[in-house]
A and B are shown apart, each in its own frame.
Chain A
Amino acid sequence: MAVAFKPIKPLLQTGTSAYSRWFSYIGLGIGVLLLLCSVQMFINIQHLLKEGSIRKDGFDFVSITKNITNETMGQPEKNLFQPQDIEDIKKQPFIAGVSPLLANDFRVQLSAGNIVPFSTDMFLEALDNEFIDTLPSSFQWQEGEQNIPIILSSDFFEIYNIFAPGQGLPQLSKESAMGMPVVITCFGRDNSVNFTGRIVAFSDRVNSVLVPKNFLEWANRTFSNRNRQEASRLFLKLKDVNDPQLIRYLDSKNYVVNKDKTLLGRNKMVLQGIFSGLGIFGLLVVVLALMLFSFYLQLVIARSRESLELLLTLGYSPKWLGKNVSNQFVPVYIFIVLTALLFTQLMQWAFHKFVLFNRPELSTAVSWMVLLLAVLLILMAVVTNARLVKKLLHQLG
């Protein structure tokens, strides 16, 4: 026959400590609610801000430069990316790839030949092919070839069409621009060479005039007397441009990135900060409430000391007694956490329905992680409680 705890229960004196008991119940409820709500909001933010940037093959691409200040002006070694800078960036967990944008190291002039009376000093850049969003098969160059394929930034082309009428130049469609050969003049130390350039694609991603990398390397060797290795721009391949870690890293290194592309990430960082703070506060409240609860338990055991000692004298097992005493509080813990979970579910439902109008990225039900956390909190409370009672009873016997 199992020993019944029912006749033992009246021997545990809760006495006049009902206030501290209720305070600890309410404290625990508020703490758990804050914690669960914060975690749920944290997850909501992750889901809401996951999308929102132009992605390709599951990656985001951004270019970064160093921040040029009055102090670093005129000191290219400070404004250019050194090999160790690139190595450091490559090591970061959120980086999937890095490619320096190679720039021309000699003077380049672009003209439209006889068709359009247009001529301008220009720059050329080259980038690893895997970083280019629109890469036609014609974007290739062999040494000795006169024709150079060009990938032009859509933004630059748009700017040309805005300013062309004011300069007396014709506005062009993308198709006609692609059909129109341009003359690229490369000026060397004591000579100049003309090449024929042809736009083969427009890029939405790279704000530059791109030529094949092997051409630019050859041209730099041929027309420049310097042997510059450093790049002023780097192109990053990222798993998530909104990753707060990335933004923190770029800010800490004082690197400049297109703010629009990382705005969501910055908002996400702020929101995550707020909810992390709330979560930590919730956790603190939970810890405080558990401490208050443990004081209450100590009080109960101190008040019932004589009865508990007599039970041990009669032959009751301390293990059995401890288990049954602490089990008295398990339904309370379960009730408190489940109530907090219910409120979190209500909040999530209201947030989804009335604040975000059933956005598909979010779910009306709380996340499984919140459920798991609730279970863990119950377990934590039960285990802490059981250990405390066991310790107190061992001090008695």
Chain B
Amino acid sequence: MKLEVKDLLPDYFEQERKTTSEIWGKELSFSNGDLVNIVAPSGTGKTSLTHFLYKMRESYTGTILYDGKNLKNCSKEDIAALRKDHVSIILQDMRLFEEQTLLENLEIKRQLNPYHPQERIIEMARALGIDHRLNALAKNCSYGEQQRSVIIRALLQPFDILLMDEPVSHLDDSNSRKAIGLILEEAFKRNAAVIFAELERAAYFPATQLYHL
């Protein structure tokens, strides 16, 4: 799948941003196998960009195209299919069903498009060190545990593009490395593009493209 952004700028940003940014106001194209690292300090629009690419918000000018199809013209059903089969996301604010256990949260995602069997959830949880917390309610888990669950949730579906907005912000260095390792392993299996927005350049992420937002 090919993702293109053309002359993109949030409505609430001034035009001058286009001159200093390597993303806003530019024409870029990402496709399967690309490992894109977007480095951006706070307030430069990382979360906005991720939300625009996932059609969670539409407050922008410019164009986002998936395989040549304008995201703004996609129906709600088209978007649901895109999110289910082609584009996965790890959001910074995590968003779990708080009254459900971590396992239930993961199953709700997995049943939508069961790319992996249920055993794989346990394997991935073990790899990230949260297998003992799978039956705990999400609201009773720490941010770190929740973040690791959200990473697993994103990896349960098939995808061509994985969007990540500060996916390891609540993890220590060792756990971050493990998490990115798992993400890269799953992305390689699918030959997917990974778009990784972070505050600083991540040393353990072998980026093929680097952009400053």
Contacts and interface: CB of A to CB of B under 8 A. Distances in A.
Interface in A163-211: none
Interface string B21-56: 000000000000000000000000000000000101
Contacts of A8: 108
Interface stretch (B8-16, B110-118, B127-135, B183-191): B110-118
Contact of B83 (A4, A7, A307, A313): A313
B210 interface: no
A313 B114 CA distance: 17
A80 interface: no
Contacts of B80: 312, 315-318
Contacts of B82: 315
B77 A317 contact: yes
Contact of B113 (A10, A313, A315): A315
B57 to A, nearest CB: 12
B126 interface: no
A307 B76 contact: no
Contacts of B6: none
A1 B115 CA distance: 11
Counting contact residues on chain B (CB < 8 A from A), the size range is 20 to 34
B112 A3 contact: yes
A228 interface: no
Nearest to B95: A310
Contacts of B99: 10-11
A310 B97 contact: yes
B81 to A, nearest CB: 7
A88 to B, nearest CB: 59
Contact of A319 (B77, B83, B107, B112): B77
B157 A7 contact: no
B178 interface: no
Interface string A1-36: 101100110110000000000000000000000000
A357 to B, nearest CB: 61
A344 to B, nearest CB: 42
B112 A1 contact: no
A317 B81 contact: yes
B108 A314 contact: yes
A397 interface: yes
Given A11-B97, A313-B83, A313-B95, A3 B77 contact: no
A394 interface: yes
Contacts of B100: 10-11
B107 A7 contact: yes
Nearest to B114: A1
A315 B83 contact: yes
B84 interface: yes
Contacts of A317: 77, 80-81, 84
A316 B110 CA distance: 11
Given A10-B99, A307-B97, A313-B83, A4 B111 contact: yes
B112 A316 contact: yes
B109 interface: yes
A266 B107 CA distance: 69
B108 A7 contact: yes
> Which of B54, B79, B89, B104 counts the most A-chain CB atoms under 10 A from its CB?
B79
A90 to B, nearest CB: 59
A312 B153 CA distance: 14
A17 B109 CA distance: 29
A314 B113 CA distance: 11
A155 to B, nearest CB: 79
A7 B112 contact: no
Contacts of A313: 54, 56, 83, 89, 91, 95
Interface of A: 1, 3-4, 7-8, 10-11, 307, 310-319, 394, 397
Given A310-B95, A314-B109, 16 more contacts: A1-B114, A11-B99, A310-B97, A311-B108, A313-B54, A314-B153, A315-B80, A315-B81, A315-B84, A316-B80, A316-B112, A317-B80, A318-B76, A319-B77, A394-B76, A397-B79
8 closest residue pairs by CB, A with B: A315-B83, A315-B84, A317-B80, A318-B76, A397-B76, A310-B95, A7-B108, A314-B109
13 contacts: A1-B114, A3-B111, A4-B111, A7-B111, A8-B108, A11-B99, A11-B100, A313-B83, A313-B91, A315-B80, A317-B80, A318-B77, A319-B77
